[in-house]
Amino acid sequence: MAATISPVVGSLVWVEDSEEAWLDGEIVEVKGEEIKVLCTSGKTVVVKTSNAYPKDPEAPPCGVDDMTKLAYLHEPGVLDNLRSRYDINEIYTYTGNILIAVNPFMRLPHLYDSHMMQQYKGAAFGELSPHPFAVADAAYRLMINDGVSQAILVSGESGAGKTESTKLLMCYLAYMGGRAVAEGRTVEQQVLESNPVLEAFGNAKTVRNNNSSRFGKFVEIQFDQSGRISGAAIRTYLLERSRVCQVSNPERNYHCFYMLCAAPPEDVQKYKLGHPRTFHYLNQSDCYELDGVDDSSEYKATRKAMDIVGISTDEQDAIFRVVAAVLHLGNIEFSKGKETDSSTPKDEKSWFHLKTVAELLMCDVKALEDSLCKRVIVTRDETITKWLDPEAAAVSRDALAKVVYSRLFDWLVDKINNTIGQDPNSKVLIGVLDIYGFESFKTNSFEQFCINLTNEKLQQHFNQHVFKMEQEEYTKEEIDWSYIDFVDNQDILDLIEKKPGGIIALLDEACMFPRSTHETFAQKLYQTFKNHQRFSKPKLSRTDFTIGHYAGDVTYQTELFLDKNKDYVVAEHQALLCASTCSFVSGLFSSLVEDSAKSSKFSSIGSRFKLQLQQLLETLSHTEPHYIRCVKPNNVLKPAIFENKNVLQQLRCGGVMEAIRISCAGYPTRKPFAEFVDRFGLLAPEVLDGSTDEVNACKRLLEKVALEGYQIGKTKVFLRAGQMAELDTRRIEVLGRSASIIQRKVRSYLARRSYAKLRLSAIRIQSALRGQLARHVYEGLRREASCLMIQRHLRMYLARKAYQDLYFSAVSIQTGIRGLTARNELRFRRQTKAAIIIQSHSRKLLARLHYTRTKKAAVTTQCAWRGRVARLELRKLKMAARETGALQAAKNKLEKQVEELTWRLQLEKRMRADLEEAKTQENEKLKSALQEMQVQFKETKVMFEKERETARRAEEKVPIIQEVPVVDHVMMEKLTNENEKLKALVNSLEKKIDETEKKYEEASKISEERLKQALDAESKIVQLKTTMQRIQEKFSDIESENEALRLQSLQSTPVKRASEHPRIPPIPSTPDTQRFENGHHTDEEDGANELQSATPVKKFGTEADSKFRRSVVERQHESVDALINCVVKNIGFSQGKPVAAFTIYKCLLQWKSFEAERTSVFDRLIQMIGSEIENQDNNDHMAYWLSNTSALLFLLQRSLKAAGTISQRKPPTSLFGRMTMGFRSSPSSANLPAPALDVVRQVEAKYPALLFKQQLTAYVEKIYGILRDNLKKELSSLLSLCIQAPRTAKGVLRSGKSFGKDSPASHWQSIIDSLSTFLSTLKENFVPPILVKEIYTQTFSYINVQLFNSLLLRRECCTFSNGEYVKSGLAELELWCCQAKEEYAGSSWDELKHIRQAVGFLVIHQKYRISYDEITNDLCPILSVQQLYRICTLYFDDNYNTRSVSPDVISSMRVLMTEDSNNAVSNSFLLDDNSSIPFSVEDLSTSLQEKDFTDVKPADELLENPAFEFLHE
């Protein structure tokens, strides 16, 4: 691993130090093999050249995220890189595909939220910053893609954060493969929630960690074919059973004992517990409580966790009964009994605890005493009972406690596995191994021996994996690696586990002999392995032995090896517990028969553990391994403290240094061609002349410097150990010579500049003197020239004046002659025009006389025909009037019925009051209706008389055509009399109703049985109301008839307009004549919108017959089908507005669909829109429908009002009323001009219309979201390329060319093209500008989020050159926003504020001079402290090697972050993308105008359909 260096004064090196492990410094003196180094700490040391390691002067100050990128891969380089990253809270670092995690001892919630999981989902390994999520994602992707099971091995010493790392891995795997279930909890939730239970019973406080796992755990997470978690299992290894009985100070026993002692009072009383200091198993240490941990709360949390994992309440009580029994068992003390070598409980206290144990375990007290104090020896002939002395009884007691607790822990693991369940059909799994790291204490017993054996096994597996990765790297780069040796630790494994002859085999052999002791065992080891290079005997001990592990030498004490290795259950103990009346306790132990069958074969902890370890390695051998090495930076468990020696020891124990040693055996330095040329191109600049091939340049450069042993791969240069230092030494020499040349050139430049200044001063003085002389000569020449100029101008003035006088005279004469000629010509033209006018008026008069005669004849014919039609209608009205007699008879009959029913009416007081109020309101309505009818009738009569008088006068003035009398005055008088009779009838009915109401008040106590008859009477009254309504309709028909008669009388006077304007002759070609049609003027003030010419009766009759022949429903369905078939086509736009939306709105308005209670039109339209937008990838199609749906929604928003908000005239229901409406809306009425109708008309909307509006709003939002997401999807692939500048070689190229071939602006130009193309699509489909603006605003916000998050997650992006690259791209976006204009771009540019400020900060020079206030107030006010801190720590200048911000600014940011560390929101430095809908219907409505639709032309296809003639209006 050492890199031999060629010492040069000024070189930077690392030297070893007893306190700080390694110090960096500069060589100040070289004396043969010794060098003098001035350290950065101020210390000066003299070391040998072989003990110094080179330091990379170009290493980033904040370290690198992958240590394989280090120029020098050695111990001090690795340690310095980890410390540099730890100082900026970058706790994760890669070494190839190995993740090193340094425990920060503080909460960093922003690193582990769901947003961070989303960032690492699917990202390539190494693309983002190092993280456990990246390791978990890589394992998950390999499992899914290759179908191979994966394993993630998490290791480290106690307190390094293994358990927390395992939880993070589990959370991420649950995030990727989690599945929602209908009932209960998912598999991954149960696995995560089983941690508190296992930690309570398997974790304890040690010297190095407050929550140390005292067992190994391998979690198998099973997946189905779709990558979803389908099952799981938890395997545990080597629970530290001896801790139950023996605890060293200041450690603690397992957490569950202290939790139970801090349980609620009722539980403490039930289990007869007290303070932990009262129990022997707990008071061996002075530590009873942990800082920041409440055992009472932890007890409740454990109980809750047990509920979650499926442990019932009875089972929980039994579990804690067993735990309490173990505590009481430890308080039983023994003294000598009456018999020889016998024992008995010492005192009353011991007897109390003995009885309590029997009570808790539900066994016999005497049997428990005998099992502790006696042993039964079974021989062939007899059974012998042997007493145990007090010491042996205490050992028996501890053995019972240990076996009960270990069986309880095994039961918990089995219960959790059974609750979670395993998937037998699963083919692949991901295993997460959380296991103890290498341990070396002052006192190392059997547990440390087994732990270190595990780490030796895993280290061998790790070495094989690292060597395999090295082989794969070399094979991928196609270089020769056959001569590289593999570093193995098989000799240590053979020393420990070889059978026979290994340490474990000798230990098992010693345990089988009753008289063996730890001394005899130690002597056996000394004799067997005295010549083994990995085994040694300490000088000052007779029973200890030392093993040279891969991480260092460890000395083990053998005193307790034999006791801790024995793995047997005393027959008396098993018989006692199997006979327990508690099913839980008896279930912890197998039957005596099963145990006796196995008693012939010896079993030990070491052998069983070796078997488990073998099974674990077999499982790992079938998986693809991934490694996470956890490191504890200090022993005080506090943040911001990095102890070099402690970390270095852990790196050695974790195998990181071993992996580096394996790497150094091959090619530790690997540089990409571009970086190699960039760094060492100055050693041979001539090889770069005109060269564009990086590979050839590297080969020629290495040949030039005469380096041997290197290899050229496909993408990298591979250097042996020490070659990088040699090249750097030569580079320093070249740079030193270059510095001398630069100094010489600078001095030359300064001397030349001084000489140039003196010479320039002399020249300026000479210039001033020569200038003075020249000015005197120039003054004389200037005066002479002035005289000549004055003379020339004077002569010119005189000549010009003479010429102008002559010119003006000639012009005046020409003007007079031309005027005379023009006046003669004008006179001739006037005479000619007058003659033409006289001729035209003469011809016009003759044509008009002919037209007038023809028109009078036509009007006469029309009047005759209309008179006939009116007489027929009058005859029908007379027949209808005869029906009045029938109404009178019905009225008399109804009066009799009311009189018969009055005495039978009875209602409750409340019903009577309600009915009374209803009748009063109805009477008032009827009265008001009659009064209104009378007033309308009088007004109609007066109006009719006025019209007749006007028509008569007009006829007298211009007696052209004799009026045909069509009004029957006798009939009119008869109808008037009938109306009076009806009025009297209504009055009489009102009197009857009043009498009935009085009788209601009198009849108050009639039985409830006649209530139904009263309701029948009420229905009769409703019929009266119906009768009155019919009378009202008949009156309305009479009014319509009068109106039609008045219309005919007006049409019989065609020259009314002429009589009003007799002086102006009617000229056909003028616009005035267009206002006359059939003798009717359209500008009448009264009823201008209602008076239309009538349709011939024949045509009306034809339409009426057709209406009866065809079903209205069928016609409506045909019309809807025609409409849908038309609008599903792209029928384009008119006046910039969608034709389809306008056509749909006009049809719905005409069909009165908005006012319908039930209709299927809206459902069909919604289905049509839904089917049309299924193809979400066609932006042009989606934009077309967004334009149509938004326009239709705007029209509905302006048109629809809730029911009851608009008063609307009720359409006539009688035959004559409908006929009159038909006359007004018939096609012939098109001959009469009508005033322009409003495009949007407010209607009273019913529920279907309001529901349609809501559904249409949802579709507008859906189409908007689809278009926005399509644009984001198109840009996402380009944004990943735009965040990092294309790589270019920066070597000294005299030809002026660069190795980089990518165009820096190509990716940004692609984004600009995408934005422009999308905008053109939206413009072509006339999408409302407000929607376009919101789409681009959210898209730019997405660009800001993606670029900014990538900047924070990828260190290679936080560089000066990359900032310039991104800044140039942002300038292109700003230019695009300006070209797109405010109407479409809106505030899009403001959405890029985060990336703009971040990039602006990256390209600032001299950042170390900027204060924190200047950064937060002026440069980056929008960025949070966490974001600024990450940018400042990740920044490095790859162009000019400028420094980042000062350490004081970094410290200020770190203090602020520490203060807010408890706030998860403030710690999140990543941005979230907003995918909400940023506009409302009101916003869309206010952005459009009704007048925009006035000139929109409906669909041409429907205009040709007779059923859509209303679209012509």
> Which residue is catalytic, options 63, 161, 330, 437?
437
> Which residue is catalytic, options 158, 455, 558, 1190?
158
> Which residue is catalytic, options 81, 194, 203, 209?
209
Strand-strand pairing, 624-631 and 98-102: parallel
Residue 1076 CB contacts under 8 Å (≥ 6 apart), including other chains:
1057, 1066
Residue 528's φ and ψ, nearest 5 degrees, are: -75, -40
Residue 296 structure tokens: 């009472």
Question: Would residue 163 show up in a list of annotated catalytic residues for this protein?
Answer: yes
Secondary structure (DSSP) of 680-692:
HGGG-GGGGTT--
Secondary structure in 3-state letters for 1000-1066: HHHCCCCCHHHHHHHHHHHHHHHHHHHHHHHHHHHHHHHHHHHHHHHHHHHHCCCCHHHHHCCCCCC
Q: Which residue has the tokens 């209504």?
A: 986
> Which residue is catalytic, options 103, 212, 1452, 1467?
212
Question: Would residue 158 show up in a list of annotated catalytic residues for this protein?
Answer: yes
Strand ranges in 535-686 using DSSP code E only, listed in sequence order: 535-536, 545-549, 552-556, 624-631, 669-672
> What is the C-alpha separation between 780 and 733, in angstroms, rounded?
70
Report the helix count and the strand count for the chain, using DSSP H and E.
49, 30
Question: Would residue 729 show up in a list of annotated catalytic residues for this protein?
Answer: no
> What is the C-alpha separation between 341 and 322, in angstroms, rounded?
30
> What is the C-alpha separation between 528 and 510, in angstroms, rounded?
14
Question: Would residue 213 show up in a list of annotated catalytic residues for this protein?
Answer: yes
Q: Is 345 left (phi over 0), alpha (psi -120 to 50) or beta?
A: beta
Question: Would residue 209 show up in a list of annotated catalytic residues for this protein?
Answer: yes
**Could you tell me if 218 and 458 are in contact, meaning their C-beta atoms sit under 8 angstroms apart?**
no
**Could you tell me if 403 and 569 are in contact, meaning their C-beta atoms sit under 8 angstroms apart?**
yes
> Which residue is catalytic, options 159, 161, 502, 1369?
159
> What is the C-alpha separation between 903 and 999, in angstroms, rounded?
7
Secondary structure (DSSP) of 743-782:
HHHHHHHHHHHHHHHHHHHHHHHHHHHHHHHHHHHHHHHH
> What is the C-alpha separation between 354 and 371, in angstroms, rounded?
12
Residue 135 CB contacts under 8 Å (≥ 6 apart), including other chains:
99, 125, 152, 169, 626, 628
**Could you tell me if 670 and 720 are in contact, meaning their C-beta atoms sit under 8 angstroms apart?**
no
> Which residue is catalytic, options 68, 81, 163, 902?
163
> What is the C-alpha separation between 1495 and 142, in angstroms, rounded?
63
Q: Classify residue 143 by its DSSP letter.
A: H
Adjacent-strand bridge partners of 217: 236, 434
> Which residue is catalytic, options 75, 439, 470, 694?
439
> What is the C-alpha separation between 399 and 245, in angstroms, rounded?
9
> What is the C-alpha separation between 372 and 488, in angstroms, rounded?
48
Alpha-helical runs (H) found in 654-722: 656-665, 673-680, 694-704
Residue 729 structure tokens: 């030494």
Q: Classify residue 272 by its DSSP letter.
A: T
Question: Would residue 164 show up in a list of annotated catalytic residues for this protein?
Answer: no
Residue 1333 structure tokens: 């603006």
> Which residue is catalytic, options 103, 203, 213, 1153?
213
Adjacent-strand bridge partners of 47: 35
Measure Cα distances from 1099 to 1102, 1105, 1106, 1161 in Å: 5, 10, 11, 30
Q: Please report the sign of the dihedral spanned by the C-alpha atoms of residue 1440, residue 1446, residue 1452, residue 1454.
A: positive
Question: Would residue 212 show up in a list of annotated catalytic residues for this protein?
Answer: yes
**Could you tell me if 67 and 78 are in contact, meaning their C-beta atoms sit under 8 angstroms apart?**
yes
Question: Would residue 1300 show up in a list of annotated catalytic residues for this protein?
Answer: no
Catalytic residues, which ones?
A: 158-159, 163, 209, 212-213, 437, 439
